[in-house]
A = this chain, B = another copy of it.
């Protein structure tokens, strides 16, 4: 529903999201997890319609990325893996948000999300007790908001100094005297906890991985729930290579759950703590290898000239071409499941935004109703997918950390190398050496070590050995589901003969993703011949497409229910089907969701009529 998401005034984004959340609950797309126990922040369940929608999206992705290609194979790895993987990937050390803590309540807030507050700051340099030999010289401050009495602040300070240092049971903390009280004015300060008002600690990193413990030993072995599916692909790269008859360029695909202990889950299912990813790691030859084999690396001007050229991979493609190829492929995928091009943004990360190992990253954004707007009032979009050119960083890291070789042997390279002129060999050797050395130094090797290892690596080229580079199209399933629902959401207002108008919802899903492909209904429930024929049609279609049989209520209400579920077609058995008009015997009415248009289709042709429209 691009009209709504794109053209409504900015203020209505929240109102629209409220309608969507309510519809999702009411129609069984999405429920809060554990709702009868008050829910659990950042976790969402998919109901009957939602789980079918999600199944369709995952199946279409898998078909597109794996089954209909010769050069991508699947993998399904575990969520809990060896903890060293997350050391190698950098997640143990750097997958963290900066957090500040309330010294009073120990509650944490994200350093970049503290709400600005104004008031009077009360500060103390410490506290002491006369009844016992207690003296504390840590400073403490609390924000006194308008209308609060200064004693509120002092009470908090005494609690702070007493906590954990003096036994609260004995009451001795009541003797505490605060020392060095001063006050100051705060305007829009982000240094105080929004609830307690206490001054926050300095920001410290807070790792976002969920930790768990594996095995029965004491002490238990720590492990993590994977924060992304990608690393499993890298760690199984050699196993897949050796068992799948694939060679670079080729990809490994995986769909699966990942977990991030987000400090502030938000925007409905968009940023949740448990989510599903669809990722391909597409392994390619380094540019030096492409050049050795093909004589050159395709220049930018050749890659998409004519524009259709990008759809046809060539052996002289380097990483830039493959990266561009995947950006185009992925945008085409989104368009193919109903997200129009203008609802998407192709965002090329700027040099300063790139992860240190990435050579280029394109984010594909969808203009969600809750997205920020730019100065022109246009929704700027939120990330559905990132397509990163990650160089050989990941495989190299796992090679270093596991001690297992992660390179490939490439007969084409070995054969081509021998035929190269000496100066070409030297130039390619040198470039490969420099790239390896740059990585090794970044990874923490000393200059000498890096020189030695990079030399060994480059010496592999004549033997046909190298570490593949990788292009990673990585999409979030739940975000895509939410985008599809937002995009499909539309309202129609109808006025009946008595002049009463009613607004109802139509979910205009692309038929390929729609949870139910066809509603099947007898015109009347109490006519056995209609019911019998309708059930026959249900049974005819059901082995091939998801159908919903409905005989409850007026036909108009039934159509409206299917519109709200996003069902693209309704098939109705009426008296004409039974031969009331002989020429219409054994035909049915097919009603189109989006415009209410109806047409007659022969039952014998119905499956063939529907199949190409819903696949």
Give chain A's interface residues, CB within 8 Å of chain B.
25-28, 31, 33-48, 50-52, 54-55, 62-63, 67-68, 70, 73-82, 84-85, 99, 101, 106-109, 206, 210-219, 223, 225, 232, 235-236, 238-240, 243-245, 257, 259, 261, 263, 273-274, 398, 401-402, 404, 406, 542-543, 546, 549-550, 552, 615
Contacts and interface: CB of A to CB of B under 8 A. Distances in A.
B274 A40 contact: no
Given A216-B108, A244-B47, A39 B76 contact: no
B240 A28 contact: yes
Contacts of A263: 216
Nearest to A224: B212
Contact of A75 (B48, B70, B78, B244): B48
Given A31-B239, A33-B78, A206-B216, 8 more contacts: A50-B76, A51-B74, A55-B74, A67-B542, A68-B543, A79-B257, A106-B218, A107-B216
A611 to B, nearest CB: 10
B39 A77 contact: no
A193 to B, nearest CB: 12
A214 B210 contact: yes
Contacts of A70: 549
Contacts of A37: 82, 84-85, 235, 401-402
A451 to B, nearest CB: 26
Nearest to A52: B74
A81 B40 contact: yes
Contacts of A31: 236, 239
Contact of A107 (B80, B82, B217): B217
A270 to B, nearest CB: 15
18 contacts: A27-B243, A28-B244, A33-B77, A33-B78, A34-B82, A36-B402, A40-B80, A47-B75, A51-B76, A52-B74, A55-B62, A63-B543, A67-B546, A80-B274, A106-B217, A107-B216, A210-B213, A543-B615
Contacts of A26: 243
Contact of A210 (B41, B101, B212): B212
A51 to B, nearest CB: 4
B274 A28 contact: no
Given A46-B76, A211-B213, A36 B274 contact: no
A257 B210 CA distance: 16
Given A55-B62, A243-B27, A214 B38 contact: no
A33 B236 CA distance: 8
Contacts of A46: 75-77
B239 A28 contact: yes
A398 B139 CA distance: 48
Given A77-B45, A542-B68, A552 B245 contact: yes
B45 A76 contact: yes
Contacts of A215: 41, 261
A53 B202 CA distance: 52
B76 A240 contact: no
Contacts of A28: 73, 239-240, 243-244
B240 A78 contact: no
B225 A212 contact: yes
B257 A43 contact: no
